[in-house]
Amino acid sequence: MSFDFDTIHSRLGTGSTKWSRYPADVLPMWIADMDIAAPPAVLQALRERLDQQILGYSVAGPQVRQAIVDDLWAKYAWRVLPEELLFLPGVEPGFNMALHAFVQPGQAVVLQTPNYRPIRLAPGHWNLPRIEVPFEFINGEYLTPLPAMHQALNGAGALLLSNPHNPIGKVFPREELLAVANACLDNGALIISDEIHAELCFDGRRHIPTASLSPQIAQRTITLMSASKAYNVAGLKTCFAVIQNAEIRERFNNARCGMVDSVSPLGLEATRAAYSQCGEWLDALVKYLQANRDYLLNAVQTRLPGVVMHAPQGTFLAWLDCTALGLDDPQQFFLEQAKVGLSAGIEFGDDSQQFVRLNFGCPRAMLEEGLQRMERALRER
C-alpha cells in the first residue's frame, strides 16, 4: 500500500499548541508533534467509535491490552502480560508519579544531558536533588560515561532514562543499555524509562526496551510508552506503563493521588487501532522520516554554513549545533530573522545554549520551506 505523507494540512486556527505559539508568519518546527496525518486505520476507528455517540468514562479492555501485548512481542520479542499494563494520560505524569512513589526525600534523581525539559524539571517538582551526567561525544557518537554514571547513581533513588533519546536521537545499543541498567541494579536505583519514540529508529536499528534485557532488570524498571509519537495521536493523551513487578505496579498505581486520571475512550481506541492495524503505515512512515533526516543532513552540510548536525539514529528531532555562528541566542535569531520557530537548546541543558532542536516530522515541502528561510537568514546576516 502507498500512504500520503506529502500533503500539507493547515493547522492554523485549530487550537494546535505547535501552531498557536507564534504569529502566523512563523513556521513552527519546535514541539515533538508531526505535521503528518494520523494513520487512515486510526482515523477510521475513531469515526466508528464516535458513531456509538456516547463518550463516557472508559477503561482499557481486553482488546486494547492484547493489541499492545502482541505488538511488544512482534517488535521487540518482549513478553508482557495484559495485567502488567497501566494506562495514563501521558508519559510526563508517569515519570512524575514514579518519582513521587519511589524516591525518598534527599535521594537524588540521575539523568543524562542534554535531555527533554520535563524530565530535567521532574525531580524539582518533588524537591529531589538532580544529578546530570553529560553524554560524551566521541567519534561522532554520544556515549554514556559509565564511571560517571556509576558515581552519580551511588545512593540515588532513580535514573530517568530517555530511549530513543530526546533531543540527540540516540538509540541505545544493547551493550551500552545493559551497562547502564546494571549500574542501576548495582546501586539500588529504580529505572524509569521513557520509550515514547520506540518505533522511530533508522538505518535498520531496532529499539530495545530496557525491561526486556533481563528478568532482574525488568523487576526494577517502569517503562513508559505510547502510540502518540509514531502514530501522531498525542492530543488524545493516552500512554501506558509496563510494570512487571507486581508490588511496584500497585505502588505506582496508588501514586495517582487524585491528579492523574483515566484516559479517554478515543485515546484507547486509537491505541488499539495503531498497534493492531497500522504496521504497513508505520514502516512507510519510518522510511519517509529517514529520508527527511537525510535530506536535512545534506542541507545543513551544504546550505547552512556554521551549523553542525550529527544524524539522529531515531525520533524525528534534529539537534543542531550553532556554536560556530557566534550568536548570542540561535533560537531567537532563527525566530526573528528566518521566521522559523525552533526549540531552544538551553531548555535541554545548561551547556546547550548554542544548540537548537528542529522537528523534521513534516511533509518534505514544509521541511524545505524551513530550510530556505534559515538559509536566507544566514546569508543575509
Note the pLDDT tens digit of each residue in 309-318: 999 999 999 9
Written as nine digits, the cell of 78 is: 518482549
Residues 157 and 305 in one domain: no
String of DSSP letters for 136-167: EEETTEEE--HHHHHHHHTT-SEEEEESS-TT
The dihedral through the CA atoms of 94, 96, 99, 100 has a sign that is negative
| pLDDT value at 13 more than 90 | yes
Residues 374 and 296 in one domain: yes
Domain membership of residue 6 (yes or no) is no
Domain boundary among 277, 306, 340: 277
- At residue 266 the predicted structure's pLDDT band, cuts being 50, 70 and 90, is very high
End-to-end, the C-alpha distance of the chain in Å comes to 46
Residue 245: per-residue pLDDT: 98
Dist. CA 177–CA 190, nearest whole Å: 14
Q: What is the pLDDT of residues 134-176, one digit of tens each?
A: 999 999 999 999 999 999 999 999 999 999 999 999 999 999 9
Q: Tens of pLDDT along 328-358?
A: 999 999 999 999 999 999 999 999 999 999 9
| Residue 235 resides in a domain | yes
Residue 8 lies in a domain: no
Q: What is the spatial distance between Cα 275 and Cα 114, in angstroms, rounded to a whole number?
A: 30
Assess whether pLDDT exceeds 90 at residue 51: yes
- Are 213 and 329 within one domain? no
Query: Residue 1: pLDDT above 90?
Result: no
- Any domain includes 9: no
Domain of 209 in residue numbering reads as 43-277
Q: Please state the rounded mean pLDDT for residues 234-263.
A: 96
* Helix H or strand E encompassing 291: helix 279-303
Do 267 and 239 touch, CB atoms closer than 8 A? no
In the predicted model, what is the mean pLDDT of residues 62-80? 98
Domain containing residue 210: CATH number = 3.40.640.10
Asked if 100 and 229 sit in the same domain, the reply is yes
5 occurs within a structural domain: no
Q: What is the pLDDT of residues 205-232, one digit of tens each?
A: 999 999 999 999 999 999 999 999 999 9
The answer to the question of residue 243 being in a domain is yes
The answer to whether 219 touches 244, Cβ cutoff 8 Å, is yes
Number of domains in the chain: 2
Q: Is residue 100 part of a domain?
A: yes
The reply to whether 145 and 213 lie within a common domain is yes
pTM reported for the whole predicted model:
0.97
My answer on whether 55 and 187 are in the same domain is yes
Residues 148, 174 within the same domain: yes
Is there a domain that residue 12 lies in? Answer: no
Residues 6+ positions from 106 with CB-CB distance below 8 Å: 128, 129
What is the C-alpha separation between 311 and 309, in angstroms, rounded? Answer: 6
C-alpha cell at 122: 521532574
Average the pLDDT over 230-243 and give the result: 98
Of 231, 247, 277, the domain-final residue: 277
What digits encode the pLDDT tens for the residues 15-44?
999 999 999 999 999 999 999 999 999 999
Q: What is the CATH number of the domain that holds 29?
A: 3.90.1150.10
88 sits in the region (left: phi over 0; alpha: psi -120 to 50; else beta) called: beta
The per-residue pLDDT for 350 is 96
Q: Are residues 90 and 165 in the same domain?
A: yes
- Residues 170 and 69 both lie in one domain: yes
Instruction: Give the percent of the chain with pLDDT over 70.
Output: 100
CA quadruple 92, 95, 96, 97: dihedral sign:
positive
Q: Are residues 73 and 218 in the same domain?
A: yes
In a shared domain, residues 294 and 304 = yes
Close Cβ partners of 286 (under 8 Å, ≥ 6 residues apart): 199, 200, 201, 202
| Alpha carbon 82 to its chain's center | 23
Same domain, 167 and 217: yes
Task: Give the residue from 277, 306, 335 where a domain finishes.
Answer: 277
Q: Estimate to the nearest angstrom the gap between the alpha carbon of 75 and the chain centroid.
A: 18
As a whole number of angstroms, the distance between CA 289 and CA 254 comes to 39
